[in-house]
Structure 1
């Protein structure tokens, strides 16, 4: 009889922790370095349970009198996160604020995405919309002048692109259909996530992987490949919102509580607050609870008229069983496949263990074999002749 063998972490737990830090997954698998706590000792499960009751729990909830420093720290940490969750839920009720102030996106993003979605899309139709977004203009100029896209004249001299119209023409509409949603996600990704700096490095490859996978699956399912790509890529906007708000509110609330302690002379609590750092487990719990719903809210806020992705995102957010051959089901399939690829790259999962998970998604015949040959983590951009 084997003694002391704990239950292996679930596939979902492995992936959610991978997006924060691969070291966390290693710890979950019992491969932790000296000084790291095990997953069984983490508060992730408790964080999820707390989340379900956060709106019912008053901020002035009773302070448990604990003898040990560890339990006292846990109490102070719990109190801080109660306040944080309450404020976060309040922020999530204001979608326009989330769109403009949290993600720093402009109100005409929906118009731009609609323009990209139609077959008759052209450089002349895109130019005035893109021109109203200075940050997008800067990104596109940088891309068109990069080694991958730069052009040379008849004498072999590099052509430096300086105007938006030339940039759009050199890049081409088909590339723009992939580049612009990707730039939107890139702009939305939080940049300050200490003590977990890898978050910003993982979100864009994950979003890209889901989008490229969805585009290929759409072709096999007879669905609109551009709708599938854009839905999949932008489906992580809610994840970006939760992450941005979590770290922003953590710093704000911790500073406020520290000032209160100084004012009231609570030295012990002040010292405890200084030791508390952002919790990956609380962040994961918040993402699992709110991310897809926020994305659906953002899609509806954009008032998309031609890009038909809002209803599919809402179906996914409401956890309504997705039917085979729908964009919602395709998003589930693309997410699962990308998660498997990312975990397998880091040697954090064995293919034999995820075969049942892949089988459950019911991919089209031949889809998995085809996807194996594709680099899903880079946009399939191509050089093209200038468009007018």
Structure 2
């Protein structure tokens, strides 16, 4: 739980994650005695004490204003989360064609012909497929006769092929749903994107080693963070709306101290981190249930991920894969930023039952690019 929370803290910023652990920043270290200064006059001492008292009172007032503001935000978000159809279509922006495409790809009767009308409805996906198939790395894989630039989404669809689309489509869909801006957390969007990719690839590799359907594992690994996407979008939008209303009310009612305190407030990383670690999986489960997949067996897995396992029950093979993949993706992120110790990693991996073979194979993986070949 601690490492899971730490991984969520890191999404919002390296220094924030450090502060949550209790790291001491070098600027705060006392390097010895301070240089000798002149003795303050009595009037200066009095003025200094007055400023300190005023500053302390202001900080307390600002903290109180933030608490009240976030209580309103939390209530508003809870109300919005009750309307899951709005969360799916308005907040995240999931079009019905996307679950339909993923469902078709999960069937044996999948064909490019069945996908074409759905792709036509998704102009953003068509653009992504064309850009993808024209990447130098994939153009070089094609024969000399077919290495010309592709400008038609339906032609790109055929070049990529059904087997590869099972990995490409969920990836582009999740990237499309990411928030456009995550200010004042500028790296949050990129870290969410990287974490989704790492989780999906780790799930694919672990599934392959354990005889579990790797396309199912990759897709669910990629979709696992849709709850985070929804919560980030909801929080930043709701904060802005509620904050603007509170500032306007304080100005109209001439509450100068409250108005000043509110103007200093920004979205709170501690509130958002707590929200993500506590609620994101539950929101993911609800969103995926609402997507109403017919052929992708995700609901039972998410049920196990969000509720305690009943006595004598065992995790489904896909659940075990996803638990390990989520753990490994978080490990990669924390390890890159030197926010996890070797003994913590060892206990973490033991807790999730990683085999040495799994860890050896994962250590060889590239977690940034698809493991696919285009003919």
Same fold (TM over 0.5): yes
Q: In structure 2, what is the Cα distance between the partners aligned to 1:152 and 1:378?
A: 15
The SS at the match of 1:169 is helix
Mapping of 1:190-269 within 5 angstroms? 190-269=179-258
The answer to whether the Cα contact below 8 Å between 2:5 and 2:277 also exists between their aligned partners in 1 is no
- Aligned match of 1:49: none
Q: 1:273 to 1:115 in 2, by over 3 A?
A: same
Mapping of 1:345-364 within 5 angstroms? 345-364=336-355
Q: 1:155 to 1:293 in 2, by over 3 A?
A: closer
Q: In structure 1, what is the Cα distance between the partners aligned to 2:86 and 2:8?
A: 27
- Aligned match of 1:62: none
| Unpaired runs of at least 5, structure 1 | 1-8, 37-65
- Aligned match of 1:30: 23
Q: In structure 2, what is the Cα distance between the partners aligned to 1:381 and 1:33?
A: 45
Q: In structure 1, what is the Cα distance between the partners aligned to 2:174 and 2:255?
A: 43
Figure out how many residues of one structure are paired with residues of the other and give that number.
347
Q: In structure 2, what is the Cα distance between the partners aligned to 1:344 and 1:33?
A: 21
Question: Which entry has the higher C-alpha Rg, 1 or 2?
Answer: 2
- Aligned match of 2:41: none
Shift of the alpha carbon at 1:345? Answer: 1.7
The answer to whether the Cα contact below 8 Å between 1:153 and 1:159 also exists between their aligned partners in 2 is no
Q: 1:319 to 1:382 in 2, by over 3 A?
A: farther
- Aligned match of 2:6: 14
1:212-255 per-residue CA deviation (whole Å, 9 max, x = no partner) reads 11111112222111111111110100010000110111111110
Mapping of 1:21-170 within 5 angstroms? 21-27=13-19, 28-32=21-25, 34=27, 68-150=57-139, 159-170=148-159
The answer to whether the Cα contact below 8 Å between 2:11 and 2:192 also exists between their aligned partners in 1 is yes
The answer to whether the Cα contact below 8 Å between 1:84 and 1:250 also exists between their aligned partners in 2 is yes
- Aligned match of 2:326: 335
Q: In structure 2, what is the Cα distance between the partners aligned to 1:177 and 1:87?
A: 37
1:38-78 per-residue CA deviation (whole Å, 9 max, x = no partner) reads xxxxxxxxxxxxxxxxxxxxxxxxxxxx9711110010000
1:295-321 per-residue CA deviation (whole Å, 9 max, x = no partner) reads 111111111111111221122122437
The answer to whether the Cα contact below 8 Å between 1:131 and 1:137 also exists between their aligned partners in 2 is yes
Q: In structure 2, what is the Cα distance between the partners aligned to 1:141 and 1:359?
A: 43
- Output the TM-score relative to the length of structure 2: 0.86
- Aligned match of 2:176: 187
Greater CA drift, 19-28 or 133-142: 19-28
Shift of the alpha carbon at 1:189? Answer: 1.4
The SS at the match of 1:68 is helix
Q: In structure 2, what is the Cα distance between the partners aligned to 1:360 and 1:154?
A: 47
The answer to whether the Cα contact below 8 Å between 2:4 and 2:277 also exists between their aligned partners in 1 is no
Shift of the alpha carbon at 1:158? Answer: 5.6
Instruction: Decide which structure has greater helix share.
Output: 2
- Output the TM-score relative to the length of structure 1: 0.84
Task: Give the RMSD, CA atoms, in angstroms.
Answer: 2.3
The SS at the match of 1:304 is coil
The SS at the match of 1:327 is helix
